[in-house]
């Protein structure tokens, strides 16, 4: 499958890099031009078994148990330093593999480092409580590591989410097995390579590459996994839950969204325009928290959409390594997914305020580049305003009253993020209180870099929380101890 110039990456299992079957590999491509930039192992049940067994042995080892929380924290602080020292290389790998503009990848590198900083600082601050029960009894709780954590990482932010997964797992004293997306495994593999000299016990951190239906399914269904963290589609999330249920294993699911920006007519238009634009074009709209719906008061809709369209038309499109505003969408599969929605818009007579066309970039004829697109006057109940397109495609719906705005915003199967834009602080809080979602931004928008902010959804956007202190709940289990000292 590979030629002599294509780099062969390996799985990282029990402290060793290995290519289990040199004849069974997966091509990893640059989304901008379709070129093969590496090949990785097509991991299977046997590879996952080896990784989980290594994690299990390492988790139970005296070496890992003897490592004090503050010592784990110091290692994680060093990890953050290493990430920053290798910023240019990590950002380039992320851009070449995912397709996003280099400046966005550079932000991803810094966020990855911040995850290690954040969880390094709390490694020795995971505390229990004392509970007053009765005279003569000391009752207290202890938070202990949950054990072996399986992480299934999505393709759109592999470095950020990979760092988040590793940092919180190790900070809380667990062992981890990661399965990166088959399309974009390279930055996670490089991250693990950079962390290797830090001296974590062999087997505490493992990475198995491969397809979701093979390596991913083997990991989520493994009987020795104690917790599963999954970010991806609703349908795959259901299968992960089903696998976990067979082993009575808890899961954390982040399954995407159809997030609205709710714009009132008293907003600061310049600020709102800037954030609405950024929230839909970042990573070419391939972001679970993308502001993919504009829910706007009808009194300003026409003018606002006109200005937004002009701003979109000024954006540059090209290979991420060339510093454009928008890079390509990931793959032919993703192209076909978006194309079905654009075709539906055309068939149903949905007006296109701007964009809607695929473009060819010189030197990148094999890439899939889409103009940022505004679908105007979309009925709130229409499929275009209900389902995740996962591209730089914004739907516009209007409202007259606050009550109607909230109804439209809550009227999808998802509930991940929402933006509220108004100068009326009281109204902003009233709207935020009524929104059925896990995160609300008022007069700004951006979940990605909020390392300390708990992140997760309601409804089909999933459950459980990543990031911040809340994530510790997922990776620890509670023990209650009662000591009677008086008889």
Indicate if 57 belongs to the active site.
no
- Report residue 162 CA to chain centroid gap: 9
Nearest one of 371, 163, 397 to 285, comparing CA atoms:
371
**Is 416:257 a contact under the CB 8 Å cutoff?**
yes
Point out the catalytic residue in the list 254, 298, 313, 339: 254
The closest alpha carbon to 461, from 419, 416, 400, belongs to 416
Q: Give Cα separations from 244 to 52, 59, 248, 387, 457 (angstroms).
A: 15, 20, 6, 26, 19
Contact criterion met (CB below 8 Å) for 137 and 484: yes
Tell me the pairing of strands 251-254 and 227-231: parallel
Taking a C-beta distance cutoff of 8 angstroms, is the pair 485, 138 a contact? Answer: yes
Q: Half-sphere exposure of 67 toward its Cβ, with a 13 Å CA cutoff?
A: 23
Listed in sequence order, the residues at least 6 apart from 127 whose beta carbon sits closer than 8 Å to its beta carbon are 143
> CB within 8 A of 122, min separation 6: which ones?
73, 171, 469, 472
CB 317 within 8 Å of CB 142: no
Q: Is 206 helix (H, G, I), strand (E, B) or coil?
A: strand
CA gyration radius for the chain? 23
Q: Which of 226, 150, 401, 417 is nearest to 299 (CA)?
A: 401
Closest CA to 115 of 169, 177, 156: 169
Half-sphere exposure at residue 354, Cβ-oriented, CA atoms within 13 angstroms: 16
- 7-255+465-479 is classed CATH 3.40.605.10: yes
Write b or e for each residue in 27-62: b if 16 or more Cβ atoms lie within 10 A of its Cβ, otherwise e: ebbbbbbeeeebbbbbbbeebbbbbbbbbbbbbebe
Pairwise CA distance, residues 10 & 103, whole Å = 28
Predicted local distance difference test score (pLDDT) of residue 487 = 74
What 8-state DSSP symbol labels residue 363?
A: T
d(CA 112, CA 79): 10
Q: Is 457 left (phi over 0), alpha (psi -120 to 50) or beta?
A: beta
Interatomic CA distance for residues 482 and 487, integer angstroms:
14
Q: Which residue has the tokens 């991803």?
A: 108
Class of residue 76 by CB neighbours under 10 A (exposed 0-12, middle 13-18, buried 19+): buried
- Tell me the CA end-to-end span of the chain in Å, nearest whole number: 74
In the chain, where the domains are located: 7-255+465-479, 260-458
Residue with the two structure tokens 């966020």: 111
The Cα 314–Cα 216 span in angstroms is 40
For residues 402 and 297, give the distance between their C-alpha atoms in angstroms, rounded to a whole number. 9
The answer to whether residues 41 and 19 touch, using CB atoms and an 8 Å cutoff, is yes
Does residue 292 contact residue 388 with C-beta atoms inside 8 Å? yes
- The CATH superfamily label for domain 260-458 reads Aldehyde Dehydrogenase; Chain A, domain 2 (3.40.309.10)
- pTM, full prediction: 0.96
- Mean pLDDT of residues grouped by 10 in the chain (487 residues)? 65 96 95 97 98 98 97 98 98 98 97 98 96 95 98 97 97 98 98 96 98 97 98 96 96 96 98 98 96 98 98 98 98 97 98 97 96 98 98 98 98 98 98 97 82 96 96 96 90
Tokens 């810094």 belong to 110
């Amino acid at each position: 499958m590979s030629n002599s110039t294509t780099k062969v990456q390996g799985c990282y299992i029990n402290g060793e890099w290995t290519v289990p079957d040199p004849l069974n590999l997966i091509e990893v491509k640059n989304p901008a031009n379709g070129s093969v930039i590496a090949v990785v192992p097509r991991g299977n049940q046997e590879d996952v078994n080896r990784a989980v067994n290594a994690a299990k042995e390492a988790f139970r080892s005296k070496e890992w148990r003897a490592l004090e929380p503050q010592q784990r924290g110091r290692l994680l602080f060093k990890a953050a330093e290493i990430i920053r020292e290798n910023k240019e290389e990590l950002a380039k790998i992320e851009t070449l593999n995912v397709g996003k503009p280099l400046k966005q990848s550079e932000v991803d590198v810094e966020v990855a480092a911040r995850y290690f900083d954040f969880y390094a600082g709390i490694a020795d601050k995971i505390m229990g409580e004392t509970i007053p029960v009765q005279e003569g009894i000391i009752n207290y709780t202890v938070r202990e590591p949950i054990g072996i954590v399986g992480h299934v990482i999505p393709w759109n932010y592999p470095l950020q989410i990979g760092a988040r997964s590793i940092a919180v797992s190790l900070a809380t004293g667990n062992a981890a097995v990661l399965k990166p997306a088959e399309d974009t495994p390279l930055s996670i593999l490089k991250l693990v390579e950079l962390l290797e000299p830090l001296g974590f016990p062999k087997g505490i951190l493992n990475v198995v590459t491969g397809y979701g239906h093979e390596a991913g399914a083997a990991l989520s269904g493994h009987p020795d996994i104690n917790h599963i963290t999954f970010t991806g589609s609703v349908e795959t999330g259901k299968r992960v839950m089903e696998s976990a249920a067979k082993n009575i294993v808890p899961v954390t699911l982040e399954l995407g969204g159809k997030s609205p920006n709710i714009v009132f007519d008293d907003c600061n238009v310049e600020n709102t325009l800037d954030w609405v634009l950024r929230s839909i074009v970042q990573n070419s709209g391939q972001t679970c928290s993308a502001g993919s719906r504009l829910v706007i008061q009808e009194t300003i809709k026409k003018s606002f959409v006109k200005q937004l369209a002009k701003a979109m038309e000024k954006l540059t499109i090209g290979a991420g390594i060339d510093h454009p505003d928008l890079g390509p969408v990931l793959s032919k599969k993703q192209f076909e997914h978006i194309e079905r929605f654009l075709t539906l818009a055309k068939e149903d007579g949905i007006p296109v305020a701007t964009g809607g066309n695929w473009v060819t970039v010189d030197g990148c004829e094999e890439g899939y580049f889409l103009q940022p697109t505004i679908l105007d006057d979309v009925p709130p109940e229409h499929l275009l305003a209900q389902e995740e397109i996962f591209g730089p495609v914004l739907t516009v719906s209007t409202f007259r009253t606050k009550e109607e705005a909230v109804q439209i915003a809550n009227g999808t199967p998802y509930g991940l993020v929402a933006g509220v834009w108004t100068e009326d602080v009281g109204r902003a809080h009233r709207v935020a209180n009524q929104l059925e979602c896990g995160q609300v931004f008022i007069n700004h928008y951006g979940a990605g870099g909020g390392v300390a902010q708990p992140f997760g959804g309601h409804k089909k956007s999933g459950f459980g929380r990543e990031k911040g202190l809340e994530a510790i709940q997922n990776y620890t289990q509670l023990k209650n101890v009662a000591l009677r000292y008086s008889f």
